[in-house]
Structure 1
Amino acid sequence: MRKLRRLALAGRPVRLRFTALYGALFLLSGVGLLAITNLVSLGSRINSPVATPPGEQLTLGAAQELIGRLQSRLSEIQALQARQLLIGSAVALAVMAVVSVVLGRIVAGRVLRPLRTITATTRRISADNLHERLAAPGPADEVKDLADTIDGLLERLEGSFAAQRRFVANASHELRTPLATMRASLDVAVAKPEPVPAQTLALADRIRAELDQVDRLLEGFLMLARTQHGALSDRARLSLGHVVSAALVARAADITAKHLTVHDGDVHDDAWTQGSRTLLTRMADNVIDNAITHNHDGGWIRLTTTADGASALLVVETSGQVLDQEQVARLAQPFQRLGTDRTGSGDGSGLGLSIVAAIAAAHGGDLDLRARPEGGLRVAVSLPLAPARAGVAA
């Protein structure tokens, strides 16, 4: 029972606990004040002498009768005063209880106000605005120490994020040079005048394919680092319908090669958004590439672009086998793939949908991945909606 009571108390808000504590203190102070007042009043009643009324000399019997009446009258007055004092004490105690709770809540709110400010500011800071600091004013107390500690943590996190992004970008750039050298050397070796054995040609083609895969992987690293860095330099208003249509036209040959049926009747021009043209185009390309690559021959792709409330929505659904939702939810993370169980091939670097998620987050949107109950995948990208008139004018 004691353990359950402790857990229940720990689950209450801090302000409620402070209110109960301060209210109890104020109430105990009021009870003590009333108790002292009653004790002093009782002592004065007990020790007060009974005065003999002045007047003529009375007989013994008349004097005793008068004294009896006076004592009876005095007892009635004392009882009346006791009742009045008791009623007044009860009313004062009730008023003091209400005042104690109100004062306790006010004092608790004043004490917790800096903590609420720190909590709200910390919740607002994310990976995109780690440069912000709490910078809590006030004297050097416990709250100030807490704010300074959080500022130091944010500074270290900002440095760590920046170092990580620089490392990915620099490593990707540096690795491009040896890859280009290897590809050039391979082309020179294959292009020699003397006959090249068929086995060597097959090996060269395989190495070239692997180099292309590494090149795409590095390009994905660069895009992911740029997206997470938040560098939206070429901002513009554009229609998701136009972007998706352009991506479909560019991949018409791949769609035909896999005999895919594309249902794009719900692609409209009313889904306008604002952001980096390069990144949003890459986002649409990755979504379409994912729908083509991870689809079986003779399958289908259904595309929808629409304006839903304050969001521009892009939905791409594909055919395929029934997938596990827990595994699908992890596809937005880098290097997460469903493997050959999904498409029968191991193509892809595992960065496509993670780049889509990063681009959507950089634009204030999100990515939702769902396994269709009938089989296949549903990819939904939600972005902030831009005014259509401004987009058309642009």
Structure 2
Amino acid sequence: MRNPRRPPGRTVRQRFTALYGVLFLLSAVGLLAITNIVSLGSRVSSFGGNPPAGQPTLAAAQEHIALLQSRLSEMEAVQSRQLLIGSAVALAVMAVVSILLGRVVAGRVLRPLRTITAAARRISADNLHERLAVAGPADEVKDLADTIDGLLERLEGSFAAQRRFVANASHELRTPLATMRASLDVAVAKPEPVPAQTVALADRLRTELDQVDRLLEGFLVLARTQHGDLSDRATISLGRVVSTALATRADDIAGRSLTVHDGDVHDGAWTRGSRTLVSRMVENVIDNAIVHNHDGGWIRVAATADGATARLVVETGGRVLDQEQLALLAQPFQRLGADRTGSDTGSGLGLSIVAAVATAHGGGLDLRARPEGGLRVTVSLPSAAAQAGVPA
């Protein structure tokens, strides 16, 4: 960190003052030089005519004086016009020269700021340990770079503390949940007859504990994603992840008599990122399509690659939805409610996790209401088609 009481040095303000002062002086000198050259050229002229031979008479002398005065007036008018034209030309020339010189000088003066901007753009949550470390005189630019370095240092410490909190919360919060489940199992498994009300209460508590567990897991995944924890990077086949998610949920799909159209799931859609988070993202999209659907409905799934982008598209049928409300579903705890499908299940974290995972991998989530009814979910990720030969 810089010392706020650093000795006064050559500041950027002083350098700008000196540079622009010199440029202004040079422009003024050039303008005067061009004007004087034009003025001297206009003065080289001959009055012409010779005085009368012999002893001039008074009338002849007066006539010659009048002629000289007339010619002098003409020369002064011509000289004024030439001086005006020369001044205009000099002004135009020096204006162009000044703009070019100013652009060059401004580029050299602002070069450290461009360096700082490029370095700040390069530094992200994954490499907060990097610093600008701008060298140079102790001026305002150096102060700015040192201030940004201090900010990056504090951000790095904050991110590290948050990651430690997420890791500790994963253990500390799940332990009491497991203890409560075990206590319920012990209470219900006693040899003596257990009242029916107790069994029903235990079942309800287990259901609520499962919901809390899922909510906690969603919190942890969302926090991990937003903090950029992509430690298990790999090249992943998006099509294979989709096929695995559909196969795992075959019973849920069959239980609701849903028809799945997965003919557009191709193995050529590759991306690179965290295997765990990408799998969770795909599972959340599939789960959303299953849960928020109606019995006997349909799901259309596509995993394709188009140039530099790999896309996962999941569509479902249903009633016509409001596009403005859909824009809120990527935020935590936002749901359309039971009027969407007759179900109010879920924690409201599913699509927010999808959005966070996609953003962490350099992609995005797009939610669109289908004109004929239902929802179209599109997840875009950077493609890794060049590494398609690497097994996922």
Query: Does the alignment reach a TM-score above 0.5?
Result: yes
- Is this contact kept in 1: 2:235–2:391, CA < 8 A? no
Segment of structure 1 superposing worse, 317-326 or 225-234: 225-234
Q: 2:286 aligns with which of 285, 288, 295?
A: 288
- Is this contact kept in 2: 1:270–1:388, CA < 8 A? no
Where does the alignment leave 5 or more consecutive residues of structure 1 unmatched? Answer: 1-17, 46-51
Which residue pairs with 1:366 in the alignment?
364
Task: Give the distance between the partners of 2:232 and 2:389, measured in 1 at CA.
Answer: 15
Query: Displacement of 1:392 after TM fit?
Result: 6.0
Matched, 1:306 2:304: yes
Which residue pairs with 1:169 in the alignment?
167
Which residue pairs with 1:6 in the alignment?
none
Task: Give the distance between the partners of 1:289 and 1:322, measured in 2 at CA.
Answer: 20
The within-5 A match list for 1:126-165 is 126-165=124-163
Task: Specify whether residues 329 and 126 from structure 1 end up closer, same or farther in structure 2 by C-alpha distance, changes over 3 A only.
Answer: farther
- Is this contact kept in 2: 1:138–1:144, CA < 8 A? yes
Equivalences, count? 363
Amino acid at match of 1:235: R
Which residue pairs with 1:248 in the alignment?
246
Aligned-residue sequence identity (percent) comes to 83
Task: Give the distance between the partners of 2:97 and 2:176, measured in 1 at CA.
Answer: 78
Segment of structure 1 superposing worse, 119-128 or 310-319: 119-128
Task: Give the distance between the partners of 1:143 and 1:389, measured in 2 at CA.
Answer: 42
Which residue pairs with 1:271 in the alignment?
269
Which residue pairs with 2:333 in the alignment?
335
Query: Displacement of 1:123 after TM fit?
Result: 4.1
- Is this contact kept in 1: 2:326–2:367, CA < 8 A? yes
Task: Give the distance between the partners of 2:101 and 2:232, measured in 1 at CA.
Answer: 56
Deviation per residue, 1:16-60 (Å, 9 max, x gap): xx9xxx79x95996499659978xx89xx9xxxxxx99x976444
Q: 2:349 aligns with which of 351, 368, 385?
A: 351
Deviation per residue, 1:265-285 (Å, 9 max, x gap): 211222122233222222222
Task: Give the distance between the partners of 2:320 and 2:305, measured in 1 at CA.
Answer: 29
Deviation per residue, 1:111-134 (Å, 9 max, x gap): 444334434443444444433433
TM-score (norm 2): 0.80
Amino acid at match of 1:154: L
Which residue pairs with 1:183 in the alignment?
181
Deviation per residue, 1:182-217 (Å, 9 max, x gap): 111110000000111111101000101111111112
Task: Give the distance between the partners of 1:281 and 1:98, measured in 2 at CA.
Answer: 61
Q: 2:206 aligns with which of 205, 208, 220?
A: 208
Task: Give the distance between the partners of 1:96 and 1:389, measured in 2 at CA.
Answer: 57
Task: Give the distance between the partners of 1:81 and 1:346, measured in 2 at CA.
Answer: 93
- Is this contact kept in 2: 1:238–1:391, CA < 8 A? no
Task: Specify whether residues 27 and 319 from structure 1 end up closer, same or farther in structure 2 by C-alpha distance, changes over 3 A only.
Answer: farther
Where does the alignment leave 5 or more consecutive residues of structure 2 unmatched? Answer: 1-15, 44-49
- Is this contact kept in 2: 1:237–1:391, CA < 8 A? no
Q: 1:90 aligns with which of 88, 95, 103?
A: 88
- Structure having the higher helix fraction is 1
Task: Give the distance between the partners of 1:390 and 1:32, measured in 2 at CA.
Answer: 65
Task: Give the distance between the partners of 1:126 and 1:238, measured in 2 at CA.
Answer: 23
Task: Give the distance between the partners of 2:284 and 2:221, measured in 1 at CA.
Answer: 11
- Is this contact kept in 1: 2:215–2:347, CA < 8 A? yes
Task: Give the distance between the partners of 1:129 and 1:377, measured in 2 at CA.
Answer: 37
TM-score (norm 1): 0.80
- Is this contact kept in 1: 2:125–2:228, CA < 8 A? no
The CA RMSD measured in Å over matched residues stands at 3.4
Amino acid at match of 2:359: A
Which residue pairs with 1:259 in the alignment?
257
- Is this contact kept in 2: 1:312–1:383, CA < 8 A? yes
